[in-house]
Structures are given as C-alpha cells and as structure tokens.
A = this chain, B = another copy of it.
Amino acid sequence: MKYGIIGYSGRMGQAIEELFAEAGHQLVYKKDEKTTKEIEKPELIIDFSLKEAFAETVAIVKAKEVPLIIGTTGLEAADFAKLKELAAEVAVIQSFNFSIGINILSELIQKVNNYLDQDWDIEISETHHRFKKDKPSGTAIMLSELLDQNPEMHSKRLGSEFGEHEIDFASTGELLTLKHRAYSREAFSKGVLISAQKIINMEPGFYKFSQILK
C-alpha cells in the first residue's frame, strides 16, 4: 500500500517506516514540524505527531479524503468530537496504545475482574527504564481503571527496561499473574500495521484499536 506519516521524524514515525518498509509498503507522503514531502497521494494517513498539530492533521485528512490511523497522545474530549465528525467521511482508528499485547491484557483483566469477589487481593507493578520520570506509568493507570477494586501500584525504574506491566490477583488459595513486556517500539508499530491493512477496506466510522483486533 501507499501510505503517509504525519510526525514521521519522531520515534514512532521511524519505527513505523521501518516495519512498513519490511512489509513492502511505500511511504509516499511524509510530514513533520518543519517539512512536508508528497511523492504521491497516500491511500491512508498515519498520525503520530503532537496534540498541537491535531487541527492541521484533521484538515489534511479531510482534504485528501483518506482513512486515518491516529496514535497521538494527549487528545481531549474536544479533539475526540472532531475525530468523530471526521469519521462520518472516512474510517478513523484511534488508540493511545497500539500494542496488541496490552490490548489483549486489557481484555483479560476485564474478564478476571468479572469473576472475582472482594476476597481477592490485587496489585499492579510496572517496570521501566531509569529515565522514565512519571510513576505509575500511564498504561498502569489505564489498567487499574479496568478493575472494580483500587489496587496498590508499584513502580520500578531499572536500567533500560522498555516497559513491563504485571497484575497479580490472589486469594488465600492461589495466585494468578498476568504480565506484559514490550521488547521494543515494534510492539506498537505492529498494531499500526494491522490497522493499516484493515482500514483501507473499512467503511467510514470511528473505531478503537481494540475493536480492530477482534
């Protein structure tokens, strides 16, 4: 397929370009804060840029009338309203986390949550590299919000760990542990690739990445 990236010089943009190239796809439109380069009209646009560029992204997608995959962080209610408006015209897939594993983990946590009564202890742990300042991670908070209980959170900051999340459920008889580790940014770019393969045949509409996975 022929695709475009907004925010192509960022880390996610680079990871997407690498993985898509391996899969034989062609980057025909690329844009970042400073430059725009269009070789050909893309069949879809992938946006991993900044919240500040959001209005421009929407305008570009509207003008080109192509589907949008958007993973830009920090979007708020007003932005989602605009995305849904755009989704009347083109297919839009949005997520703050395109990891397949984290999305499956979220499903699993909800399933376990439905089984358990109050007699289970639940704790969440996450480990990230030493340079990550925020504790707990956004993903850990997102996972905790899937639970009826309010679990204790633990944050380790160790070496170069790319990102590990663990959730423990324990009764007095047993312990169930669900754990996810991202090896690299490829954990996310793979989810974008899956989304891209599907979005080119999808009807206009607003979709979460978790819906695409099913």
Is B115 within 8 A of A159, CB to CB?
A: no
Q: A112-B104, A121-B130 are in contact. Are A173 and B159 (CB under 8 A)?
A: yes
Report how far A161 CA is from B168 CA in the complex, Å.
12
On chain A, which size bracket covers the interface?
35 or more
Instruction: Tell me the number of copies of this protein.
Output: 4
Report how far A169 CA is from B179 CA in the complex, Å.
10
Is B174 within 8 A of A187, CB to CB?
A: yes
Is A183 within 8 A of B174, CB to CB?
A: yes
Is B115 within 8 A of A176, CB to CB?
A: no
Q: Does A84 contact B (CB under 8 A)?
A: no
157-206 of chain A: CB within 8 A of chain B: 157-161, 168-184, 186-190
Is B158 within 8 A of A168, CB to CB?
A: yes
Q: With a 10 A CB-CB cut-off, give which of A105, A160, A161, A168 has the most chain B CB atoms.
A: A160
Secondary structure of the A side of the interface? mixed
Is A100 within 8 A of B115, CB to CB?
A: yes
Q: Does A213 contact B (CB under 8 A)?
A: yes
Q: Does A156 contact B (CB under 8 A)?
A: yes
Partner of A171, one of B154, B159, B170, B179: B159
Q: What is A's interface to B at a CB cutoff of 8 Å?
A: 99-102, 104-105, 107-108, 111-112, 115, 121, 123, 125, 129-130, 152, 154, 156-161, 168-184, 186-190, 213-214
Would you give 8 A-B contacts (Cβ < 8 Å), ordered by A? A101-B176, A108-B111, A121-B130, A159-B172, A160-B183, A174-B181, A175-B180, A176-B178
